[in-house]
Amino acid sequence: MGKGKGFGKVILFNEHFVVYGIPSIVSAIDLKTTAVVEKHTKNQVILDDQRPATKGYKEEKKKHRKESLNRILKKMEKENHPLKITLGGNLVAASGIGASAASCVAIARAINEEFNMELTEEEINAVAFEGEKGYHGSPSGVDNTAATYGGLIWFKKGAPDVMERLKIKTPLGIVMGNTGVVANTKLAVKNVRQKKEKYPCLYEKIFTHAEQVVEHAKEALMSYNLTELGECMNKNHSLLQKIAVSNKNLDFLVQLARETGALGAKLTGGGLGGYMVALTPGSTLQEKVARAITREGFYALKTRIGV
């Protein structure tokens, strides 16, 4: 029996932009998906998904999950081995929180342990990236990197990718609000690519601004200038709205969090549903924002970054 885990994540800056080589800041959160892998006598691979999940998520992602698992097994050269894979953990499977990446990492680690493959963390990350293609088509690599390594990460896609681990003096409280909408990340990525090709001049300006915002955000994060960091989050959300990956519920929760006192708020993840994130240093503010979101009938998750 092999066991593995993968961390959930929150993208603080530049989802979608990161696909095109613009830097991103991402943090693991203190929730995870677990996987248990066992050999069995039936001539097939069985996936038993016991994760808690947003309503409709598992059904919506069933085809993607199958493709992802096939890619992982092929990458690890285990596609002809009869296995039972059981997913669990305390990370709610939902859009925008890195659920797919967390499961890919957990499965890769569990298979690695079961077959004594002795893969490095870098190799586990590469397997998870291959699995992410089943969900996202052309993933940036930022989700699986956070799910593999944990912590707070500066990530830039390239050849090779650039990953810098960031350290802040004190962990920061955040609130993540779930719209309850299961998002099609593949479609969102495809739409951005098509619009970028159709309106190259407009999108070049937006992408340049996104790069400026994340550079400024990194400075604010490292100097612990939380007011400035929050403003950068607000600007980043505006840019994500311009490339049409937000929606009515995300914009509502973002505005609600700001009005309740959050220093900044934005969508997080693929957009078109899933989660938003609000910067809420201090337990009092975190609780206040979480309650405001809950009162409106949405699910609020209180967690921390930079742990």
pLDDT exceeds 90 at position 172: yes
Q: What is the reported pLDDT for 70? A: 97
Domain boundary among 134, 166, 198: 166
**For position 184, which CATH number holds?**
3.30.70.890
In this prediction, residue 43 has a pLDDT band, given cuts at 50, 70 and 90, of confident
Domain limits for position 190 = 172-305
For residues 65 and 99, membership in a common domain is answered with yes
Read off the pLDDT of each residue in 59-76 and give the average, rounded to a whole number. Answer: 95
In this prediction, residue 42 has a pLDDT band, given cuts at 50, 70 and 90, of confident
pLDDT exceeds 90 at position 159: no
For residues 239 and 273, membership in a common domain is answered with yes
Domain boundary among 145, 166, 187: 166
Classify 122 as helix, strand or coil: helix
Q: What is the reported pLDDT for 3? A: 98
Q: What is the reported pLDDT for 146? A: 92
Read off the pLDDT of each residue in 236-240 and give the average, rounded to a whole number. Answer: 98
Domain boundary among 127, 142, 166: 166
For residues 199 and 78, membership in a common domain is answered with no
Q: What is the reported pLDDT for 174? A: 97
Read off the pLDDT of each residue in 67-81 and give the average, rounded to a whole number. Answer: 96
What is the distance between the alpha carbons of residues 27 and 77, in angstroms, rounded to a whole number? 31
For residues 13 and 107, membership in a common domain is answered with yes
Q: Which two tokens stand for residue 222?
A: 């490292």
For residues 198 and 81, membership in a common domain is answered with no
For residues 226 and 116, membership in a common domain is answered with no
Alpha-carbon distance values, 106 to 139, 228, 295 (Å): 18, 35, 34
Classify 115 as helix, strand or coil: coil
Cis geometry, peptide bond prior to residue 160 (ω within 30 degrees of 0): yes
Q: What is the reported pLDDT for 299? A: 94
What is the tens place of the pLDDT at every residue in 94-150? 888 999 999 999 999 999 999 999 999 999 999 999 999 999 888 888 899 999 999
Number of domains in the chain: 2
| Residues near 238 by beta carbon (within 8 Å), at least 6 away in sequence | none
**For position 105, which CATH number holds?**
3.30.230.10
Q: What is the reported pLDDT for 184? A: 83
The catalytic residues are: 143
Q: What are residue 174's DSSP bridge partners?
A: 279, 303
The pair phi, psi for residue 53, each rounded to 5°, is -155, 155
What is the distance between the alpha carbons of residues 265 and 281, in angstroms, rounded to a whole number? 12
Q: What is the reported pLDDT for 140? A: 82
Q: What is the reported pLDDT for 175? A: 98
For residues 185 and 42, membership in a common domain is answered with no
For residues 158 and 46, membership in a common domain is answered with yes
For residues 50 and 178, membership in a common domain is answered with no
Read off the pLDDT of each residue in 172-192 and give the average, rounded to a whole number. Answer: 91
Q: What is the reported pLDDT for 28? A: 93
Q: What is the reported pLDDT for 229? A: 98
For residues 16 and 114, membership in a common domain is answered with yes
Q: What is the reported pLDDT for 50? A: 97
For residues 210 and 103, membership in a common domain is answered with no
For residues 26 and 133, membership in a common domain is answered with yes
User: The whole model's pTM is what?
Assistant: 0.85
